[in-house]
Amino acid sequence: MTSPSSNPSALASRHRVVIIGSGFGGLNAAKALKRADVDVTLISKTTTHLFQPLLYQVATGILSEGEIAPTTRLILKRQKNVRVLLGEVSAIDLTAKTVTSRLMDMHTVTPYDSLIVAAGAQQSYFGNDHFATFAPGMKTIDDALELRGRILGAFEAAEVTTDHDEHERRLTFVVVGAGPTGVELAGEIAELAARTLAGAFTTIKPSECRVILLDAAPAVLPPMGEKLGLKAQRRLEKMGVEVQLNAMVTAVDYNGITVKDKDGVERRIESSCKMWAAGVQASPLGKMLAEQSDGTEIDRAGRVIVQPDLTVAGHPNVFVIGDLMSVPGVPGQAQGAIQGASYATKVIKQSLKGRDDPANRAPFSYKDKGSMATVSRFTAVARIGKLEFGGFLAWLAWLVLHVLYLVGFKNQFTTVLHWAVTFIGRGRSQMTITSQMIYARLAMNWLKSQTEDAFTAAEHAEQEASKADEAQAAAREKQRVE
Ligand SMILES: Cc1cc2nc3c(=O)[nH]c(=O)nc-3n(C[C@H](O)[C@H](O)[C@H](O)COP(=O)(O)OP(=O)(O)OC[C@H]3O[C@@H](n4cnc5c(N)ncnc54)[C@H](O)[C@@H]3O)c2cc1C
């Protein structure tokens, strides 16, 4: 079923802006057009605006999913020039200037005058997608809830088993990827075991819990530099986290993980709970755009190597922003997406006033506001300009900044409350786990493959039946002629 998208309250003559994605880039672009004389359609495959930097706190029972993922439709409820459409974009036609999205069996074609593509990135397993079955990534609410189920479920299984080796395997947590997400996740699991869960089980001592953070790279937090990386590593090690560097994962299965060290020797780590925080791959929409452009290319991670004005070559009305854009010196961080959104919407507003000359636009320039990562309760590392520091001050700065960037006062308020429970006390407010969290993704993947198999089999049977019908008809015709 295909239907054209229309905004009933809109004037047909208004400039139409379509935004793909409701992350930092997409939401900020929509908000920036609040007072512009345009009709905005924001299309996203999720109903929420996800604050990815705090996903690890959902995975470790500190925050609820609602606190970091408010509903986009409600955030934009009062902005009358925006229509929010749920759907996965499956096609962008740069010639016809349309975007096609799909929700269940409904296909919607939305025309645009200006297009902002902010579809972000997804987890990359570097060509080993089968690792995902046993080592979920950390990109979506589904991922974070599945990890919460697996982490807390591993403690429960360790309490039940009477086998010593199995007890150890259940209490071994492996985080792959020593970037900010991996560091934060490993630190939080160590604190969960040592503080929140200590004394809650009969057969588990906090010291038995092994948290391993491993990476193929030779350093922790490489983008933050050697000094801060070492600081974070020492702090993690003080908390009991085993940091294993120059260690490349070669296999992941139900029972554990196989790792190849720098000397080429492979070894096994038996672990029931593996997590993948190592690498990103841009949305496939990037490739789709590049293929239709006048020479724009994508980089190895699938990001679009945009023009200096963040557009696609030959299409000055098509902007690519955030994690999907490749601009030298701009990291895949929230600020890149926010500043990209601000730049693209300013250009659109200028063009409405007739003040935009696409050939002479001032290029996008990124202001580096620094980066931060928490390591543990009261400890973080931060780099702001040339200033590099760690410890309590960095943690406070991290705390304040993250609260400020959360959308909605209610979410800011409850987040601070839950942080107080966890950081001042020992508790965690979001420790509920369900079977759905642990099994739903695998069950859905299995169901999908079964449906696809059944569909292929039905299609094949239909083709065979049709061939048989044709053969019978031909035989009857031959008999009739004879
Ligand atoms: C675990 C984690 C921790 C992070 N920590 C930090 C941090 O501490 N500081 C920091 O600055 N940055 C951090 N980042 C990076 C930051 O979150 C990203 O740089 C930022 O979210 C990029 O914004 P974006 O709008 O480009 O993409 P996203 O925020 O990823 O949004 C993409 C949007 O596009 C939608 N979408 C994707 N494909 C389609 C499609 N085909 N059809 C329709 N919609 C689609 C998605 O549903 C989503 O709404 C972290 C990222 C992760 C994953």
For 118-142, write each residue's pLDDT tens digit: 999 999 999 999 999 999 999 999 9
Q: Whose CA is nearest to atom 53 of ligand 1?
A: 139
Atom in ligand 1 nearest the alpha carbon of residue 46? 47
Which one is predicted more confidently, 186 or 279? 186
Q: Look at ligand 1, atom 31, and give the residue with the nearest C-alpha.
A: 23
- Ligand 1, atom 46, residue with closest C-alpha: 21
Three-state SS across the chain? CEEECCCCCCCCCCEEEEEECCCHHHHHHHHHCCCCCEEEEEEECCCECCCHHHHHHHHCCCCCHHHHCCEHHHHCCCCCCEEEEECEEEEEECCCCEEEEEECCEEEEEECCEEEECCCEEECCCCCHHHHHCCCCCCCHHHHHHHHHHHHHHHHHHHHCCCHHHHHHHCEEEEECCCHHHHHHHHHHHHHHHHHCCCCCCCCCHHHCEEEEECCCCCCCHHHCHHHHHHHHHHHHHCCCEEECCCEEEEECCCEEEEECCCCCEEEEECCEEEECCCEEECCHHHHHHHHCCCCCECCCCCEECCCCCEECCEEEEEECHHHEECCCCCCCHHHHHHHHHHHHHHHHHHHCCCCCHHHCCCCCCCCCCEEEEEECCEEEEEECCEEEEEHHHHHHHHHHHHHHCCCHHHHHHHHHHHHHHHHCCCCCCCCCCHHHHHHHHHHHHHHHHHHHHHHHHHHHHHHHHHHHHHHHHHHHHHHHC
Distance CA 222, CA 185 (A): 16
Q: What is the pLDDT of residue 7?
A: 46
User: Would you say domain 129-278 falls under CATH 3.50.50.100?
Assistant: yes
- For ligand 1, atom 37, which residue shows the shortest CA distance? 119
- Cα of 28 vs centre of ligand 1, distance in Å, is 12
Residue 242 C-alpha to ligand 1 middle, in angstroms?
29
Domains 2-45+87-123+281-360 and 129-278 in one fold: yes
pLDDT tens, residue by residue, 198-246: 999 999 998 999 999 999 999 999 989 999 999 999 999 999 999 999 9
Q: Quick one: average pLDDT of 294-302? A: 95
**Extents of the domains making up the chain:** 2-45+87-123+281-360, 129-278, 436-482
Higher pLDDT: 282 or 472? It is: 282
Who lines ligand 1 at CB under 6 A? 20-26, 43-46, 52-53, 55, 88-89, 118-120, 138-139, 180-181, 283, 285, 322-324, 332-335, 337
* Gap from CA of 323 to ligand 1 centroid (Å): 7
460 — pLDDT class (breaks 50, 70, 90): confident
Instruction: Tell me what pLDDT residue 464 has.
Output: 79
CATH of domain 2-45+87-123+281-360: 3.50.50.60
Catalytic residue among 88, 146, 159, 184: 184
As a whole-number percent, the residues of the chain with pLDDT over 70 amount to 97
Among 41, 326, 333, which is best to mutate for testing ligand 1, by the most ligand atoms less than 8 A from CB?
A: 333
121 Cα: distance to centroid of ligand 1 (angstroms): 6
pLDDT tens-place string over residues 260-294? 999 999 999 999 999 999 989 999 999 999 999 99
Q: Which atom of ligand 1 is nearest to the CA of 25?
A: 25
pLDDT tens per residue, range 43-62: 999 999 999 999 999 999 99
Residue 1: what pLDDT?
55
Per the annotation, the verdict on 184 as an active-site residue is yes
**Span 327-346, pLDDT tens digits:** 999 999 999 999 999 999 99
Residue 82 predicted with pLDDT over 90: yes
Atom of ligand 1 minimally distant from the CA of 90: 41
pLDDT for residue 467: 81
Instruction: Output the pLDDT for position 475.
Output: 82
* Ligand 1 geometric centre to CA of 139 (Å): 8
The Å distance, Cα 278 to ligand 1 centre, comes to: 15
pLDDT beyond 50 at 11: no
pLDDT at 387 over 70: yes
Q: In the predicted model, what is the mean pLDDT of the chain?
A: 93
